[in-house]
Chain A
Amino acid sequence: QQKVQQSPESLSVPEGGMASLNCTSSDRNFQYFWWYRQHSGEGPKALMSIFSDGDKKEGRFTAHLNKASLHVSLHIRDSQPSDSALYFCAASVGYNQGKLIFGQGTKLSIKP
């Protein structure tokens, strides 16, 4: 069983809408989270990190972390066609630890 589980597997959102992606760790040791985005044919690129409980906002992207439930979410408002990509949640034991474990990904499609 993967230590980092993402849902849903795929998501379709109309342009201008809100996309919500979820991630849960099954290992209480993993308490530091990142979101990565991968466009087709490219390597993943870091979107944002979140290490503390609550919300973290960067432009149209907001991450929310609940350490008690080991749940992290990513919300994308005013979704654009360029947001269509594979989104990965990643977790590690410490914010500066080398071993980063990824979830299986959520495929987001933004419909014009």
Chain B
Amino acid sequence: EAAVTQSPRNKVAVTGGKVTLSCNQTNNHNNMYWYRQDTGHGLRLIHYSYGAGSTEKGDIPDGYKASRPSQENFSLILELATPSQTSVYFCASGDAFGGVSQNTLYFGAGTRLSVL
């Protein structure tokens, strides 16, 4: 079973503060993703990456930065956190060239972020 680990699991931040959410995968997958989940909106793509050193903007990148320093790690950075960024954040990994598992995503357990 593919393994994606997110940290922290819960985070309370102050408005204007910097927040870093971390994700580690041991699947050796090329692709990694950050989504946020809000009621009524489902999962919305923030940033994704095709490999170490690459980051791509998703559908809602404003206010977020991403960093992929290695195959295993992918971080989401909120430089100036705002209350509208209160949400549950999910990291996922996927192997676009994985044969029958083509593009199947494996998700972490999520990080619940509250910005006060």
Q: Which residues of A contact B (CB under 8 A)?
A: 2, 6, 32, 34, 36, 41-46, 49, 88, 90, 92, 95-105
Please indicate the chain A residues that have their CB under 8 angstroms from the CB of B34 in the complex. none
| Residue from the list A2, A32, A96, A102 in contact with B35, Cβ < 8 A | A102
With A49-B102, A49-B103, A98-B33 known, 7 other A-B pairs at CB within 8 A are A2-B42, A34-B103, A34-B104, A88-B43, A98-B56, A100-B33, A102-B43
Q: Which residues of B contact A (CB under 8 A)?
A: 4, 31, 33, 35, 40-45, 48, 50, 56, 58-59, 90, 92, 94, 96-97, 102-110
Tell me the interface secondary structure of chain B in the complex: strand
Distance of A101 Cα from B113 Cα, bound (Å): 22
Q: Are A44 and B90 in contact (CB under 8 A)?
A: yes
Q: Are B104 and A46 in contact (CB under 8 A)?
A: yes
